[in-house]
């Protein structure tokens, strides 16, 4: 049995779809569905799994050893808001909760794969290298990033990462992120803005070394993320921290043009000042060093933003059935 925490969320439900696609349905989803206004439940509506456990009950069930024959826990559940100001909540929800799951997995020899974040790298001045030796030099720019960084450091000290895999996700986009609101991807926001206004607004550059819209990110399609995780499930000897990005930085202008193209429209891009509250926390460049992932044996090609955005826009965002569906798995 495989357990996915955050299984109704963005990457978690995409992983559930990927496992369905590989013929796996003996899966327990752990999550908090929240209010019906978010419609997070829709991420699960067309997928197959054996049971659902509320997030708050899960640690107790692990402590009582009430769940049997668990082969892996894929821990994607977290508050992923980079603007969250409740530090105590993040410490409890992201750090403390993760420690309980990791400790259980180590005590019961259960494969443990968990979501870290590229937000742990801060402004990137210490590079985007996933070597554990450089972990203590990282300085996250927000509390979310710090909560993830703190768990990474704890996992190293407790030798968890000698047996588990932590994934530093970069800028992920794709189906089933519709409930995320302000935390949804730029692609999702761009699609809706273009449809509503016919144009797209991007942030002005406030640094002389970057032209307008030429700020760079490592954008990765969610289906590439799930392929990596399935590969890691099949390779339990692959352990440690790994960047999950494409290894290629692309500009917001590139992303905008790909979105306009997927909609069959000519680019119409405006540039607006960045809010002052973001300027000292804004990353002008992110790019995953995927040397470690490649050296571990993952050799599949990554999806370009042109191909990923075209599929996302045309097959999902512009579709009457925008969610991952188990019927697609075949």
Catalytic residue list: 144, 180
Q: Where are the beta strands (DSSP E) in the chain?
A: 2-5, 27-31, 51-54, 72-75, 111-117, 165-169, 171-173, 200-203, 216-217, 219-221, 240-244, 250-251, 269-272
* Contact between residue 128 and residue 118 where contact means Cβ atoms under 8 Å apart: yes
Three-state SS at 256:
helix
* Adjacent-strand bridge partners of 251: 216
Instruction: Tell me how far apart the alpha carbons of residues 231 and 218 are, in angstroms, rounded to a whole number.
Output: 21
CB atoms within 10 A of CB 289: 16
Question: Looking up tokens 């054996």, which residue turns up?
Answer: 50
Determine which helix (DSSP H) or strand (DSSP E) holds 98, and give its type and residue range.
helix 97-107
């Amino acid at each position: 049995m495989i357990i996915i925490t955050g299984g109704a969320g963005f990457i978690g439900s995409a992983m559930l779809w990927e496992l369905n696609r590989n013929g796996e349905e003996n899966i327990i989803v752990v999550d908090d569905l929240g209010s019906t206004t978010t419609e997070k439940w829709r991420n699960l509506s067309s997928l197959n799994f054996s049971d659902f456990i509320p997030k708050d009950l899960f640690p107790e069930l692990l402590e009582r050893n009430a769940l049997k024959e668990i082969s892996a826990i894929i821990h994607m559940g977290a508050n992923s808001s980079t603007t969250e100001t409740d530090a105590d909540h993040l410490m409890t929800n992201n750090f403390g909760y993760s420690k309980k799951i990791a400790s259980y997995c180590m005590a019961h020899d259960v494969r443990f794969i968990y979501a870290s974040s590229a937000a742990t790298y801060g402004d990137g001045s210490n590079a985007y290298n996933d070597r554990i030796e450089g972990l203590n030099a990282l300085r996250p720019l927000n509390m979310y990033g710090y909560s993830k960084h703190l768990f990474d450091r704890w996992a190293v000290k407790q030798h968890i990462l000698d047996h588990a895999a932590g994934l530093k996700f970069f800028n992920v986009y794709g189906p089933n992120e519709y409930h995320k609101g302000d935390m949804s991807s730029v692609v999702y926001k761009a699609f809706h803005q273009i449809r509503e206004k016919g144009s797209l607004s991007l942030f002005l550059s406030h640094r002389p070394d970057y032209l307008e819209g030429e700020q760079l990110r490592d954008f990765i399609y969610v289906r590439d993320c799930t392929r990596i995780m399935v590969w890691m499930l099949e390779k339990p000897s692959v352990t440690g921290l790994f960047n999950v990005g494409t290894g290629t930085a692309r500009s917001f202008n590139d992303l905008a043009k790909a979105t306009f193209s997927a909609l069959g429209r000519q680019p119409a891009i405006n540039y607006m000042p960045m809010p002052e509250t973001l300027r000292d926390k804004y990353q002008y460049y992110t790019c995953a060093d995927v040397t470690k992932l490649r050296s571990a044996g993952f050799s599949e090609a990554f999806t370009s933003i042109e191909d990923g955005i075209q599929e996302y826009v045309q097959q999902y965002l512009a579709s009457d059935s925008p969610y991952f569906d188990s019927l697609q798995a075949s």
